[in-house]
Amino acid sequence: MLRVKRILEFGSGFYSTLTFLNRLAFPDVVLVESIESDAEWISRISIAAKGDPRLQIRYIPEPIEHVLSEIPLDAYDFVLVDSSTEAIRRASLIQKLAERNDLRGMVAIHDFEVRLYRAAAKNFRNLVEYTAYNPCTGILWQAENEPTTTLKQMSKVIDRFSKRFQPDDLQAWSEIFHKHGSLIAANGPRLPGMRAKKHG
């Protein structure tokens, strides 16, 4: 529904990276660029991805947020933050993302229930939270034109079915969103009374 094509992720994973590469979940993706600080983990994810040419993994030692200055963020539709074993490092990355003027897409922050991450994200203008599963996820962005209502409707669908399906059951979730996708799309991003929560 969001037509995500180019993804940047800080911290690769079996749930995140492989889901982004799964055409059932993300049919429009042409690039997943992953920044990872664990060389052994890179090897495991690369093997699991089975040579998918859309995946590019870069090894960057901690603190990985220093690489951010080299990355043109306007080249990506979606950025995932799920990096670092130290919360202070991830918070630093979140804060630096919020300060970038070239950030055009959405940012997903894993473990968004962590107060340090929420505080680091205070300079994002908009926020939709997904709390059906723990850990939680925050979707944040700066622009006014992003699909706020679509994101909120998606959250309602997840809330409704979260007790029935595990988060990694892609087949079930694909069927659910195909069934409810027309309803979500029909509401449109500017449905009256459905505004993004102003964050900050």
pLDDT tens-digit map of 120-157? 999 999 999 999 999 999 999 998 766 788 899 899 99
Q: Any idea which architecture 6-143 has in CATH? A: 3-Layer(aba) Sandwich (3.40)
Tens of pLDDT along the chain (200 residues)?
788 999 999 999 999 999 999 999 999 999 999 999 999 999 999 999 999 999 999 999 999 999 999 999 999 999 999 998 899 999 999 999 999 999 999 999 999 999 999 999 999 999 999 999 999 999 999 987 667 888 998 999 999 999 999 999 999 999 998 888 766 665 544 322 233 445 54
Q: Look up the pTM and report it.
A: 0.89
- The CA-to-CA distance between both ends of the chain, in Å, stands at 27
Report CA-CA distances (Å) from 116 to 22, 88, 109, 128.
31, 8, 12, 17
Residues in the chain: 200
